[in-house]
Amino acid sequence: MARNQKDFFYYKAKDEGYRSRAAYKLQQINIKHNVIIPDSTVVDLGAAPGGWLQAAKELSGGRVVGVDLQKIKPIEGVDTIKGDITKEATLEKIEEIIGEHGADTVICDAAPNLSGNWNLDHARSIDLSYSALDVAKKLLIPGGNFVVKVFQGDLFKELLDEIKRNFVYVKSFTPKASRKQSAEIYVIAKKFITTSIEKGQEYDIEILDIGEKGDGIAKIDDLVIFVKHGRISQHVRVCIREVHPNFAFADIIEPVK
């Protein structure tokens, strides 16, 4: 069965002109999680031979940039960079191409050279994923999306927690096109948070206005905070309940005198 599965996507890719079976993984990720939307700017880390780039270009139709240690053969409408995603110089080259707007979505299917030693391969994969997360944090627009492949193991949860600190919505996903015996899993992270405000933090604030739904409105560092049961001109201590890229929800703990 595993062999049939492998052959099915391998031959499908050959028939349909994709450079790798991986193209179907990105398509399946997008069907389920909608991480690439039309006209968006997409950066693909660890992109050779280019199956994801082909799929990303079809999904977005906008600017698509691929980076890999290996040279990527040209794909119409796609920019490619030969470089190491762990190096600052590579980040600068990507920034030169995508310009000030930044990236709407950063995707990473990079994999270390496998040694066959499970722990070592897992640790290297986690390291690459942290590098991809660093790149994503520098390139993504507020509210942007991030997808990263990881080989599962002990260090996975710590990585997942770090990703959760930076995105509103985080899920793990294994596309059908992944080989059955593979240890790979994809982390899907949506709505990049750029504020340093975190869930559970407490702040003293003043309610400045009332929103359409009757919540009080306050501001912390330009972030709009919707305060449940808040009333205009109240000075209150609040606890942050939920953080989104451009706003947060908070509950009143007590009045501030």
Ligand X SMILES: C[S@@+](CC[C@H](N)C(=O)[O-])C[C@H]1O[C@@H](n2cnc3c(N)ncnc32)[C@H](O)[C@@H]1O
Complex with ligand X: residue 67 or 243, whichever CB lies closer: 67
Q: How far apart are CA 81 and CA 92, in angstroms?
A: 11
Q: How far apart are CA 106 and CA 104, in angstroms?
A: 7
Minimum distance between the CB of residue 149 and ligand X, rounded to whole angstroms? 8
Q: Which listed residue (25, 57, 149, 190) is catalytic?
A: 149
Burial string for 32-59 (b: 16+ CB within 10 Å, else e) reads ebebbeeebbbbbbbbbbbbbbbbbbeb
Complex with ligand X: residue 93 or 228, whichever CB lies closer: 93
Minimum distance between the CB of residue 104 and ligand X, rounded to whole angstroms? 18
Indicate the DSSP class of residue 221.
T
> Beta strand pairing status for 140-151 and 184-192?
antiparallel
Tokens, residue 236: 């209150």
Q: How far apart are CA 41 and CA 223, in angstroms?
A: 25
Q: What are the residues binding ligand X (CB under 6 A)?
A: 19-20, 22-23, 46-52, 67-70, 84-86, 109-112, 128
Q: How far apart are CA 152 and CA 77, in angstroms?
A: 34
Complex with ligand X: residue 29 or 48, whichever CB lies closer: 48
Does residue 149 have an active-site annotation? yes
Minimum distance between the CB of residue 54 and ligand X, rounded to whole angstroms? 8
Q: How far apart are CA 92 and CA 85, in angstroms?
A: 11
Residues in a beta bridge with 228 = 251
Complex with ligand X: residue 74 or 214, whichever CB lies closer: 74
Minimum distance between the CB of residue 250 and ligand X, rounded to whole angstroms? 40
> Of 139, 127, 168, 125, nearest to 44 (Cα)?
139
Annotated active-site positions, please?
149
